[in-house]
Chain A
Amino acid sequence: GQQLNQSPQSMFIQEGEDVSMNCTSSSIFNTWLWYKQEPGEGPVLLIALYKAGELTSNGRLTAQFGITRKDSFLNISASIPSDVGIYFCAGHYYGGSQGNLIFGKGTKLSVKP
């Protein structure tokens, strides 16, 4: 099946640092979504991207839909302790069922005050 390669797997950063994570695939994607999951809860949507090249911000978060449609990145600026959690990329790949949203394996973010 289709796969999303998300990196890095984990990050340990100091409060105030910027963070960058990305997802890549060998397949073309129609949508890219970024979710955050906190312990004991379900994932919550942060940013949705629908067009190649699209750059979207949500507060300190910025995500881009890669021009090739095979990748996306998420940046977090000036990290704070409440940014801790697991960040997932997800998407619908071209030619796949619109019901089939697939996820990367996640980036676990730890922020040291």
Chain B
Amino acid sequence: NAGVTQTPKFQVLKTGQSMTLQCAQDMNHEYMSWYRQDPGMGLRLIHYSVGAGITDQGEVPNGYNVSRSTTEDFPLRLLSAAPSQTSVYFCASSYRAGRNTIYFGEGSWLTVV
């Protein structure tokens, strides 16, 4: 069972570069989201989607774009990477938003130099 799959696992970027973190789930989940995790800060919500074609901002959306053209995929784009975006990124999904178990991917470690 694949569950929630994130790629790449590790990435080093130069300031100003753009890149896309990929997230795919094979559980037919409607809800998908992206979090970033920084030391001492817990997990903070970047963007989320409650279904294909619908996205919304979370707590820390600046510098990131998302789209949800299919149920399965929810890519996170860094438009112009900054050192402040050095973090661990987690994609998560659940059957529906709200009272359903949320499954997390294994994380993507991003360093911006």
Contact = CB atoms under 8 A, between A and B. Distances in A.
Does chain A bind chain B? yes
A88 interface: yes
Given A40-B107, A88-B43, 13 more contacts: A6-B42, A30-B98, A40-B106, A41-B107, A42-B106, A43-B90, A48-B99, A50-B99, A98-B50, A99-B50, A100-B58, A101-B33, A103-B44
Contacts of B31: 99
Interface string A84-113: 000010101000011111111110000000
A45 interface: yes
A56 to B, nearest CB: 13
A59 interface: no
What 6 pairs across the A-B complex have the smallest Cβ distances?
A: A42-B104, A98-B98, A105-B42, A98-B97, A103-B43, A99-B97
B interface, by DSSP: helix, strand, loop or mixed? strand
Contacts of A92: 98-99
A78 interface: no
Nearest to B38: A105
- On chain B, which size bracket covers the interface? 20 to 34
Interface residues of A, number: 26
27 contacts: A30-B98, A30-B99, A31-B98, A33-B102, A40-B106, A41-B106, A41-B107, A42-B92, A42-B104, A43-B104, A44-B104, A45-B103, A48-B101, A97-B97, A98-B50, A99-B31, A99-B48, A99-B49, A99-B97, A100-B45, A100-B59, A102-B59, A103-B35, A103-B42, A104-B42, A105-B40, A105-B42
A48 B99 CA distance: 9
Interface in A26-54: 30-31, 33, 40-45, 48, 50
A99 B80 CA distance: 26
Nearest to A105: B42
Interface of A: 1, 6, 30-31, 33, 40-45, 48, 50, 88, 90, 92, 97-106
B105 interface: yes
Nearest to B60: A1
B56 interface: yes
